[in-house]
């Protein structure tokens, strides 16, 4: 099975990714943080949230970030039928396309719950499946800004895919940590790119 946790590249570039939005409070704060450094990020959005906050989703697109498919209702995909899996992805694909005029080209399974049967569906839809290499941050558990920073810093390198959350609950620690990381990494000469841009930098 092929979940992409990191991209093999010698270019100094990382992809920040955010799950479970769009969120009208936290997503715009992240957009402002990336604007300050002319960076780009990828937002793995849930269909349900796009229905609630289409204008926030559109803002992400207008500000030239990438939107990925994170299913409609955030199920454990291996615990529902394959028909339901496909519907979760198709409905969200359509919502993203409706709101932004652009089809999503990457997906991330909720909880990174994935198997070969679901891979057949994502292959059919043409989606690379995106994981991350800083899963230990567990930022959704509010472990403290310092914890989020420490775990992420240990994993940063050329081609890192960094996972955070802008949806569900209080994301203020994540916002604070991301603000610090974005400044640090750009100061160190890293480009902040979308997942699709990072995939294009992969060495064959």
Exactly one of 65, 70, 74, 165 is catalytic; name it: 165
| Distance in angstroms (rounded) separating the CA atoms of residues 141 and 48 | 22
Contact status, residue 184 vs residue 33, Cβ threshold 8 Å: no
Within 10 angstroms of residue 99's Cβ, the number of other Cβ atoms is: 21
Q: What is the pLDDT of residues 66-113, one digit of tens each?
A: 999 999 999 999 999 999 999 999 999 999 999 999 999 999 999 999
Exactly one of 19, 20, 93, 139 is catalytic; name it: 19
**Residue 1 clears pLDDT 80, i.e. is over it:** no
Q: Which residues of 40-62 are buried (b: 16+ CB within 10 A; e: fewer)?
A: bbbbbbbbbbbeebeebbbbbbe
Residue 2, pLDDT score: 87
Contact status, residue 26 vs residue 166, Cβ threshold 8 Å: yes
**pLDDT over 90 for what percent of the chain?**
96
The pTM of the full predicted model, rounded to 2 decimals, is 0.97
Q: Annotated catalytic, 19?
A: yes
Residue 204: pLDDT band with limits 50, 70, 90: low
CA of residue 86 relative to chain centroid, distance: 20
Q: What is the pLDDT of residues 124-158, one digit of tens each?
A: 999 999 999 998 899 999 999 999 999 999 999 99
């Amino acid at each position: 099975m092929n979940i992409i946790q990191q991209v093999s590249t010698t270019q100094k570039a990382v992809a920040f990714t955010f799950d479970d939005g769009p969120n009208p409070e936290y997503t715009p704060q992240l957009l402002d943080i990336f604007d300050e450094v002319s960076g780009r990020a990828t937002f793995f959005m849930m269909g349900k949230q796009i229905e609630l906050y289409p204008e926030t989703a559109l803002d992400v697109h207008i500000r030239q970030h990438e939107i990925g498919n994170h299913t409609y209702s955030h199920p454990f995909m291996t615990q529902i039928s394959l028909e339901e899996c496909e519907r979760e992805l198709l409905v969200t694909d359509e919502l993203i396309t409706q709101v932004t005029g652009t089809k999503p080209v990457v997906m991330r399974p909720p909880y990174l719950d994935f198997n070969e049967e679901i891979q057949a569906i994502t292959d059919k839809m043409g989606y690379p499946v995106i994981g991350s290499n800083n899963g230990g941050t567990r930022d959704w558990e509010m472990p403290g800004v310092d914890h989020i920073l420490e775990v992420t810093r240990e994993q940063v390198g050329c081609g890192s895919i960094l996972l955070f959350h802008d949806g569900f609950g209080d994301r203020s620690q994540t916002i604070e940590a991301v603000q610090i990381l974005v400044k640090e990494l750009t100061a160190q000469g890293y480009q902040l790119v979308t997942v699709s841009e990072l995939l294009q930098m992969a060495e064959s």
